[in-house]
Amino acid sequence: MIKIAPSILSADFSKLGDEIKKVEQAGADLIHIDVMDGHFVPNLTIGPNVVAAVRNVTKLPFDVHLMVSNPQDLVLPFIEAGADILTVHAEAASHLHRIIETIKKGNKGSCQAGVSLNPATSIVWIEDILREVDLILLMSVNPGFGGQSFIPLVLEKIRRLKAQLKACNSNAVIEVDGGINANTAASVIEAGADILVAGSAIYGAKNCAAAIRQLKNAAAL
Ligand code: DX5
Ligand code: ZN
């Protein structure tokens, strides 16, 4: 069954706790938290203090997407703040294997390790660590902002990655992030995604529960 991770980047930040509860009640499986540093991407968002402040408003796992330079400096603060999955960009990590190990050891091994690739970055970059990671996040927009259009070349990448994971017996799941909505979800699921991130399609909808249901049911359409 496909999982849905609403991105709180599109939530109303003046009432973040309520916005997280709202999508939990609407059927979300994970809470996707976009961390941007104004350097790796041209936008600034959330730090560990904010994550810690909202940690107890929900029982859902926190899926923290680090879009930052020097991610190694932020790994432990975000794990301590309550990240359940912590994903770093391969493009930002000089020593990716070391960061993945640090995440997995983290706070008594409480956190899963993810690696993310921008749309233009080949999966060749991560083929040697497919069995070390728990999650691979394929960006289907250039990171930095919500509400952008889905980049279709990612579909082929999802298919190739799915086949490679199977070939090397990796249990890693594929998450796809950016431009996911009722029109794009079906092809992303068909290509092999396990988790869909959606910001504007969920928080911009009048009825969040209906929007989440629509994404989950897209596979059947
Ligand atoms: C983009 C972020 C995404 C973003 C998705 O840099 O990583 O998680 O919130 O937003 P939508 O679903 O609106 O494209
Ligand atoms: Zn994201």
Q: Residue 177 catalytic?
A: yes
Distance 132 CA to ligand 1 centre (A): 25
Are 201 and 28 in contact, with CB atoms under 8 Å apart? no
d(CA 218, CA 190): 9
The predicted complex's ipTM stands at 0.99
C-alpha 148, offset from chain centre? 16
Are 19 and 201 in contact, with CB atoms under 8 Å apart? no
Out of 12, 29, 34, 134, pick the active-site residue.
Answer: 34
Is 82 annotated for ligand binding?
Answer: no
The set of protein residues with a Cβ atom below 6 angstroms from ligand 1 is 7, 9-10, 32, 34, 65, 141, 143-144, 146-148, 177-180, 197-201
d(CA 216, CA 212): 6
Which helix (H) or strand (E) element contains residue 3? strand 3-6
Q: Kindly state the percentage of the chain with pLDDT values over 90.
A: 96
Q: In the block, which residue shows the tokens 């990796």? A: 170
The CATH number linked to 164 is 3.20.20.70
d(CA 108, CA 38): 31
* pTM for this predicted structure: 0.98
Q: Does residue 221 carry a pLDDT above 70?
A: no
List, for residues 46-56, the tens digit of each pLDDT value. Answer: 999 999 999 99
Q: In the block, which residue shows the tokens 């017996």? A: 169
Q: Kindly indicate the confidence band of residue 80, based on its pLDDT and cuts at 50, 70 and 90.
A: very high
List, for residues 121-143, the tens digit of each pLDDT value. Answer: 999 999 999 999 999 999 999 99
> What residue numbers bound the domain in which 154 lies?
3-220
Q: Residue 84 catalytic?
A: no
**Domains contained in the chain, number:** 1
Tell which atom from ligand 1 comes closest to the C-alpha of 180: 12
